[in-house]
Amino acid sequence: MIANCINCKAPMCISHISLFRNLSISQQALIVSHVNRRIYRKGEIFIHEGELLQSFVIVSQGRFKTTTTSMDGKSSTLSFLNKGDFFGQQALFQEMEIPYTVEASEDGVLCMIDSVTMKDLMSKNVELSMAIVSALSERVSSLEYELSSASSEKIEDRLLRLLYDLSKDYGKQQASSIHLRLPMNQEEIAKRLRVSRESVNRNLKKMHEEKVIKILSRKEIILPKM
């Protein structure tokens, strides 16, 4: 299992996302040693909507889609998960009912660590527990700041801050910039910021025209290093 993780060619290891990034090398190795890798063929279902998710999951290879089914039985695609995308942070500590189905849209690999294992690791390693609690605290503080500034801060500033927050997990550091591959579409960003999609679109274009950011495509943005 460790050899598989060491030789993995995915752009982001499960131990390198922001939640685990500040752990020591030995703590990261401990996390990696308990990661399970599973191969999925196109069309295979990882989990169905409404089932209990008991693991934190990262897409190591391939592409997966999330879908939901309405009361009348109509299925809608919510998003696509590509290499480096992850979900189920809440399931690190206790199982959760997942609100969508995750299906492989092409052959792929998922890496995961279950909540029982994580609880056991944290109960035996106080430093690991404190490091993860600290990382979670930072995330909570960031969300609280978002909520408190929602009515007073300009949408453009909130949007830019969100892009930098996303770049911590989905950005690729370059010499003088950050190449961000957006994990969210404009509708999802709008819901996160509690504004309209049109407002998100307008402010993204404005920042691009003013050279604050550079938009390469709907999913790719270049941010200057702060």
Q: What is the full per-residue pLDDT of the chain (226 aa) written as tens digits?
A: 433 455 555 445 666 676 676 677 887 788 888 888 899 999 999 999 999 999 988 888 888 988 888 888 877 777 778 777 778 877 877 788 998 999 999 999 998 888 888 888 888 888 878 877 777 776 666 666 656 655 557 889 889 988 998 888 788 888 899 999 887 788 878 877 878 889 999 999 999 999 999 999 988 999 998 7
- Residue 3 confidence (pLDDT): 39
For the domain covering 150-224, report its CATH number: 1.10.10.10
SS3 call for 153 = coil
Q: CA-to-CA distance for 134 and 136, rounded, in angstroms?
A: 5
- Residue 145 confidence (pLDDT): 62
Instruction: State which CATH number among 2.60.120.10, 3.40.50.720, 3.40.718.10, 2.30.30.90 fits the domain covering 2-123.
Output: 2.60.120.10
Cα–Cα distances in angstroms (integers) from residue 186 to residues 154, 193, 194, 219, 220, in the given order = 17, 10, 12, 10, 12
Residue 169 CB contacts under 8 Å (≥ 6 apart), including other chains: 12, 17, 18, 84, 86, 183
- Residue 222 confidence (pLDDT): 96
- Residue 2 confidence (pLDDT): 38
User: In 70-146, at which residue ranges do the beta strands (DSSP E only) sit?
Assistant: 75-81, 86-87, 96-97, 101-104, 108-114
As a whole number of angstroms, the longest Cα–Cα distance in the chain is: 52
- Residue 149 confidence (pLDDT): 58
Q: Are 159 and 200 in contact (CB under 8 A)?
A: yes
Residue 157 CB contacts under 8 Å (≥ 6 apart), including other chains: none
Domain ranges of the chain: 2-123, 150-224
Q: Which H or E element spans position 121?
A: helix 115-124
